Structure 1
Amino acid sequence: MGARDARDTAARLRAISGELSDRFYERDDVVRTLVVTLLAGQHSLVLGPPGTAKSELARELTGRIDGASYWEILLSKFTAPTRMFGPIDVAALARGEYRQVYDGRATTAHVAFIDEIFKCSTAALNETLGFLNERIYHPENGGEPVRCPLIGAITASNELPTGEETAAIYDRLLVRIEVGYLADPSNFAALVRSAVSPPAAPTRTTVGLDGLRHAVDESVPAVAVPETVVDAVCTLRAALRRKELVASDRRWRQAVRLLQASAWLDGRPAVAETDLSVLTHVLWDSPAQRPTVEREILHLVNPDAKEALDLADLVEELETQLDSMAGQSREALSSWVITHAHNKLAVAGRRLERLRAEAAGAGRSTATIDRVTVRQRAVRARVLTEALGMDAATVEEQLRS
């Protein structure tokens, strides 16, 4: 496969990312991270409550790979290994032969979506680990291991693992992405409208399996990793250790391929320090650790986003104050808005707009700034509706101004 074909594959993946970001509100960073993870040949976990489009997004992304064998399953504690990797061939069994039917199962899949991954049964645990780790399956009859063509799996869960057994699976999912319900009132309004008047059929770019496989096996590993990036990774590791956040050597080593995939997706021949932003989804074990990881990374590579996080603290503080005033009179709430909240939220919004423009102009990631902007708009909407009594249409107009 030539350089032109590789560039076409990267362009198609960027187009897919854009189309999915337009379709799934507030999921730009989620979509890009899932694509980068697939390019790195790794597995991802999408963690969030029910009804946050985890399954729909995963299916839409994995369904864009032409020629790929796709496998999907919803796990439960009763799921048998044969249901995942191949049922017994009843006809062969009647002839005295013990065989499994692998077609359409995990054993033949190039991409997979595994929902409720932490409900994996004890019986299927070891085979699931082997499938994710080594891309192999050990047949029920004890024959030669079956080599699986899996490029990467997207998994999903509403909750973190609760036992040691499923924690082993959690450890093998390199990328962990949190999703929540829509925060921006304008996006929520658009979601409601789409239920009444569905949008026209969107553009649907696809990418060929051969192109994706070549990218994973050849193009991404060929991306250079400069010494400046190595130094930045070492600095980040030391900073996180000072915060008592320790990732395994294996996780750090696998993360390098993510950095290469991030650079390749953007059409760059070498990793840049800005690619370290993807590690925000790699270097934490519990969601409570994620903000600390994000701050350390952004302090190192993205001053715009670091300032955005400081503004996020201000926004969260204002929301906490609003919550504490529950039950107070409309006059008291209005006075608080006029003398305290309104100006701070307006200043934060204008500063976020400038930070985004500066970051985009310099080619830096705007994902964190965009996320903070959504929170700022959400809190501003709460202030306008709960404290000032504005209706939804007026609030939406105010947010657009």
Structure 2
Amino acid sequence: MAETLTTPSSTTTTAATAASLQAIVAELGEQFYERGAVVRALMASVLAGQHSLLLGPPGTAKSALARELTSRFTGARYWEILLSKFTDPKRLFGPIDVAALTQGVYRQLFEGRATQADIAFIDEIFKCSAGALNETLAFLNERIYHPENGGAPIACPLISAITASNELGEGEETAALYDRLLVRLEVGYLADPTSFAALVRSAVVAPVQPVATTVDLVELRQAVAADVPAIGVPDGVVDAICELRAQLRRQELIVSDRRWKASVRLLQASAYLAGRPEADSADLEILSAVLWDSPAERRTVERTVLQMVSPDAKEALDLADAVAELEAQLDAMAGQSREALAEWAIKEANKKLARAGKRLAEMVRDAQAAGRSTTTLEQVAAKTRAVHARVMVEALGVDATMVQAQV
């Protein structure tokens, strides 16, 4: 059973816990290249008591990231499983006690299974077997398990589950699972050659890791059950959510009322992570990971959300589109001669990317001076640097280890 919280945490304790969680996000953002925004969204999902999905091809550090994040919650009972179409439900929730069965007693052993987990990682979530589906849904949604012997439902202490998959599932069965995953994050292979070079180098010489920041289970539960729900949600944010819903509906993107309601706690978690007593428009950015169903919808949702959040967003996203077009041109030129690549890079790509990078740096400084969120600007700037680095390496033949200082 989950611990019962009987007294509210002090302001000092709340601030200290929030600071530790912020430190964990920062540390993992440094450790996992090009994953800073993903780490923050995963942490917000945990603090909101919601479940998340990491969607991407094999070899993108989905499992490693989930394990590293969950390891920072000391005292938490952790459970992990890799699902397949043949996974027996008892592997998830508890095998039969064979010794008791020989005495004519039918019971399950729950130790070390999902039924006793505070934090879970479920890999290949959409391969959940038909036999385990209903119990998995009840586990994720209601935090209960119905024992094999038909006894009363067992309350599970689960705070949050991180799930992963190489691809989306198909059919109504997996759609029900997908709906339980509030935060949906696409992860791809590293885009920046300098990040890739650092990754390769780390296989030879492991980077020195500082002492890892941790948060105790009791502190985490206090944050989830009391501190995050206490974050204010002013009328201006409610109005913005209503306007966002209307804008998405005009684009024929319909989000269920249940997901809209659940997303409010995610906004509170985002504000808590930022050290603010109430949510503001900057927290709406995290809804870019909530309001899409198919990956094809993600870009539209992201653009709609970000244009509401920041006056800088439209120009930044236009720059992002221009950068994406240059990257597509670079991909299309694969196989051409180095001379052709160099000519294109010198005459077109290099200049455009340099101008975009300079403009984004100016926008970041202006936003900081005005006290506005710079998250979107920094993400677009990082993508611009990554594409610029690719051009330098692939078209101009610059050593990847020397690129970072030049872009």
**TM-score when normalising by structure 1:** 0.95
Q: 1:56-96: per-residue Cα shift (whole Å, max 9, x none)?
A: 11111111111111111011111111010000001100110
Q: Is 1:338 aligned to 2:346, yes or no?
A: yes
Gap regions ≥5 residues in structure 1: none
Distance 1:112 1:371 in 2: 29
The root-mean-square deviation of aligned C-alpha atoms, in Å, is 1.6
Question: What is the DSSP-based 3-state SS (H/G/I as helix, E as strand, rest coil) of the residue aligned with 2:312?
Answer: helix
Closer, same or farther in 2 for the Cα pair 1:225/1:24, shift >3 Å? Answer: same
Does the 8 Å contact 1:131/1:148 carry over to 2? yes
Distance 1:396 1:219 in 2: 41
Deviation at 1:355, TM superposition (A): 2.3
Aligned to 1:131: 139
Q: Is 1:285 aligned to 2:293, yes or no?
A: yes
Question: What is the DSSP-based 3-state SS (H/G/I as helix, E as strand, rest coil) of the residue aligned with 1:221?
Answer: coil
Aligned to 1:87: 95
Closer, same or farther in 2 for the Cα pair 1:393/1:187, shift >3 Å? Answer: closer
Q: 1:337-391: per-residue Cα shift (whole Å, max 9, x none)?
A: 3332221111011112222333344454433333323332332233233333334
Aligned to 1:122: 130
Question: What is the DSSP-based 3-state SS (H/G/I as helix, E as strand, rest coil) of the residue aligned with 2:229?
Answer: helix
Question: Residue 373 of structure 1 is aligned with which of 381, 389, 406?
Answer: 381
Q: Is 1:27 aligned to 2:27, yes or no?
A: no
Closer, same or farther in 2 for the Cα pair 1:44/1:362, shift >3 Å? Answer: farther
Aligned to 1:16: 24
Closer, same or farther in 2 for the Cα pair 1:212/1:114, shift >3 Å? Answer: same
Q: Is 1:169 aligned to 2:210, yes or no?
A: no
Gap regions ≥5 residues in structure 2: 1-8
Distance 2:374 2:67 in 1: 26
Distance 1:51 1:363 in 2: 38
Distance 1:390 1:24 in 2: 24
Q: 1:126-171: per-residue Cα shift (whole Å, max 9, x none)?
A: 0000000000000001101000000110001110011211111001
Closer, same or farther in 2 for the Cα pair 1:5/1:314, shift >3 Å? Answer: same
Distance 2:273 2:330 in 1: 42
Closer, same or farther in 2 for the Cα pair 1:313/1:347, shift >3 Å? Answer: same
Distance 1:121 1:322 in 2: 42
Q: Is 1:271 aligned to 2:296, yes or no?
A: no
Aligned to 2:259: 251
Q: Is 1:71 aligned to 2:79, yes or no?
A: yes
Aligned to 2:15: 7
Q: Percent identity?
A: 66
Question: What is the DSSP-based 3-state SS (H/G/I as helix, E as strand, rest coil) of the residue aligned with 1:20?
Answer: helix
Letter in 2 for 1:113: F
Distance 2:401 2:70 in 1: 37
Aligned to 1:353: 361
Letter in 2 for 1:316: A
Q: Is 1:55 aligned to 2:68, yes or no?
A: no
Deviation larger for 365-374 or 139-148: 365-374
Distance 2:399 2:30 in 1: 27
Letter in 2 for 1:279: L
Deviation at 1:393, TM superposition (A): 4.0
Question: What is the DSSP-based 3-state SS (H/G/I as helix, E as strand, rest coil) of the residue aligned with 1:112?
Answer: strand
Letter in 1 for 2:281: E
Distance 2:399 2:213 in 1: 39
- Pairing 1:186-225 to 2, within 5 Å after superposition: 186-225=194-233
Question: What is the DSSP-based 3-state SS (H/G/I as helix, E as strand, rest coil) of the residue aligned with 1:380?
Answer: helix
Paired residue total: 399
Distance 2:306 2:372 in 1: 11
Closer, same or farther in 2 for the Cα pair 1:361/1:77, shift >3 Å? Answer: farther
Q: 1:290-324: per-residue Cα shift (whole Å, max 9, x none)?
A: 11111111111123343221111111222233344
Closer, same or farther in 2 for the Cα pair 1:98/1:304, shift >3 Å? Answer: same
Closer, same or farther in 2 for the Cα pair 1:330/1:61, shift >3 Å? Answer: closer
Q: Is 1:113 aligned to 2:121, yes or no?
A: yes
Aligned to 1:298: 306
Letter in 1 for 2:50: Q
